[in-house]
Amino acid sequence: MKKIIKIKGLDCAACASELSEELEKLDGISHAAADFINQRVSLTYESAEAFERAVDVISHFEEVEIVDGNAPEKREGHLKEILSIAISAVFFVTGLCLTLFYHSEERWAFALRVSFWLVAFLAAGWEVALNAGKNAIRAFRDGFHPSVFLDENLLMLIAAVGAIAIGEYMEAAAVVLLYQIGELLQSLAVGSSRGAIRRLMELRSDSAIRLTVDGQEEAEPEELEEGDILLIRRGDKVPVDCVVTEGESALDTKAITGESYFKEIRVGDEILAGCVNEGNAFKARVLRPYAESAVVKILELVENSSSSKARPERFITKFARIYTPVVVLAAVVLAVVPPLFQGYNFALWVGRALNFLVISCPCALIISVPLTYFSGVGALARVGVLTKGAVYLDKLASVKVVAFDKTGTLTEGRFSVTAVTGGERTLQYAAAAEKSSSHPLAQAFRDIATPFTAQGVEEIAGMGLSCEICGTHVLVGSARLMREHGIAISEETTDMVSVFVAENGELLGKVEISDALRANAGEALLSLKKQGVKKLAVLTGDSMERAESTLKGLPIDEIHARLLPDEKPEAAEKLRQEGTLLYVGDGINDTPVMAASDVSAAMGALGSDAAIEASDFVLSGDDLSSLARAVGAAKRTRRIVTENIVFSITVKVVLMVLSVFGFIPLWAAVLGDVGVMLLAVLNSMRMRLRIK
């Protein structure tokens, strides 16, 4: 069983890692992912007892509180932190001014300066000491957990107290003051990203106006049922996926598609939840309940996106668990061993060890790497590309081969009957059979009236339908279906799809159906080539002649035609041998090949629920051009992550070496640590920029 628990008070990546580690050690918890950015915990548990134990651990972890999912989410405030920093800064600056401009060596002057330093230390350091104490208690609960004990709060507290012990009062105050400033700036940066996701969550409509025989009534989106008639006024958000039944208007679809343009709608057009009516009021019929609507799929994807971590994130988490105890041990050795050979000058080497300890804090890596991936996920969401996790964003960056389904992906997927051979009965038999089918072609027959009812409809994979109509055996499907049943046909090459109809082994006629190529398909595929994709392929069940005719003019490298659903994964496996494979599809039949690909994307607006569930990315606006932007954003995300890792480690190693040889004071060590962290965070925030 899976559950997402909303929380508050989880303010750093290291804390999130510790909480996840504690939860996964519980019996009955197979997976736990604490997300400090979205403020939630994703749990996979085996029993109610295991879930209760997990809830107990979460509620007793530092300042974390579990939030009622129905309660309104409060904006973050930093008054307490700002007040502590302000008080500390006032006393620190006062003490610094006394030191610089009043050089009296009298005892009272020295005591006054020390008093200012100590007040500055206490104002900024009380919370550091409190957190370090709480972690020390937790670290010895149910055994010893070094990663909980040796966190950044303890490192900073040791450095500050050590500085006081050797008489460096100003540096002790500087350590905690600079550290708290860095923590505040980090929190503000993360809060900014949280705000971006909050704005996305505002896609949800709070209410809807339902029309009944008694007039109008206000209803919650969750209360709406398929077939309900809604009145959508100017300025209203569309609460669920609907089809327009009366009136014309214009919708702002930016929240769903990421594109700033209005979509003109009229009777018969399907509209997605989350769009905003910017034109006249209109009436619409509910197509799907709220739980199955586009907006819910979007929100679920965004909410769950942080539970799947990319390889660099997992590396940093494991690295920090080993790295922190090692550097603490190294600092102890540095403080104790060299003085034994240099006249027992412990004060000198303790100071250098404190510098070493402060600089070694891995905050820059722990915060910047997940923040970069989170920013990348958010940036993609703004252009209508939703991902199920950072791990898939990382895979997308290495894509070399892209394979497409044809119908509903490269084409519009909106079929219509264009010609009938064999009379009205041919069309009506086809309509009666296809009304029971979930195949995309069946959409062409949805609005065709027929007096017949098909009984015992059996779907023959990749070929068509078999059924009983008025006591006769009827076949409706492809030329291949006809030939396999010994029915002679004359198949001519055409740009349209031919659906043949046979009754009791005799051909009645055929229905021709057309489907237009997407307007921006060519431009979208060329953009993928510019992003470094080496090969573009199409996997289709259609004939080679019809596929080539339909896709004429597109920069396709390979077409694999006449594929049955079970043959598509085999074709995908061959393409995978040429590089990381991205598969893009929209239908139920695409789910096996999606599972067989390295990474997959589904067309969100027209795509089936099964395809969306099986895919790693969803194109919420069915816009192929967003694919290239997604690949570019994935590569940019990986590049920024690599920059942060290399920059942080390189600078820290240099500063650690300098601290060993005494070239930098303690305050400079703290400033260097905070500076590296802030630069890494600011670099990660570049993913928040508009994706081109």
Active site residues: 405
Which strands form 599-603's sheet, in the order they lie side by side?
Answer: 385-387, 617-619, 599-603, 580-585, 399-405, 535-539, 558-560
User: CA-CA distances (angstroms) from residue 622 to 264, 272, 673?
Assistant: 16, 12, 45
Environment class of 270 (CB within 10 Å of its CB; exposed 0-12, middle 13-18, buried 19+): middle
How, if at all, do strands 535-539 and 558-560 pair? parallel
Beta carbons within 8 Å of 281's beta carbon, 6+ residues apart: 231, 232, 233, 234, 247, 249
Strands 262-265 and 270-271: unpaired
3-state secondary structure 179-247: HHHHHHHHHHHHHHHHHHHHHHHCCCCCCEEEEECCEEEEECHHHCCCCCEEEECCCCECCCCEEEEEC
Instruction: Give the 3-state secondary structure percentages of the chain, helix then strand then coil, rounded to 5.
Output: 50, 20, 30
CA dist 450 and 251 (Å) reads 34
φ/ψ of 454, rounded to 5, equals -85, 135
Locus of tokens 């930093």: 78
- Distance from the first to the final alpha carbon of the chain: 39
Residues 6+ apart with CB under 8 A from 74: 8
Residue 614: which of 630, 602, 626, 606 has the closest Cα? 602
- Kind of pairing, strands 580-585 and 399-405? parallel
Burial code (b: 16+ CB inside 10 Å, e: under 16) for 156-168 equals bbbbbebbbebeb
Both structure tokens of 102: 């009043």
CA–CA separation, 242 and 614 (whole Å): 24
The upper half-sphere exposure of residue 586, i.e. CA atoms within 13 Å in the direction of its Cβ, equals 25
Query: 3-state SS of 407-458?
Result: HHHHECCCCEEEEEECCHHHHHHHHHHHCCCCCHHHHHHCCCCCCCCCEEEE
Contacts of 95 (CB under 8 A, 6+ apart): 113, 116, 117, 120, 170, 173
Neighbours of 314 (CB within 10 A): 13
Residue pair 508/533 in contact (Cβ under 8 Å)? The answer is: no
Residues 81, 187 contacting (CB under 8 angstroms): yes
Q: Are 632 and 393 in contact (CB under 8 A)?
A: no
Q: Are 156 and 363 in contact (CB under 8 A)?
A: no
Residues in CB range of 668: below 8 A, 6 or more apart: none
Torsion of the alpha carbons at 311, 316, 319 and 325, rounded to the nearest 10 = -160
Q: DSSP class of residue 586? A: -
Strand, coil or helix: 389: coil
Cβ neighbourhood burial of 247 (10 Å; 0-12, 13-18, 19+)? middle
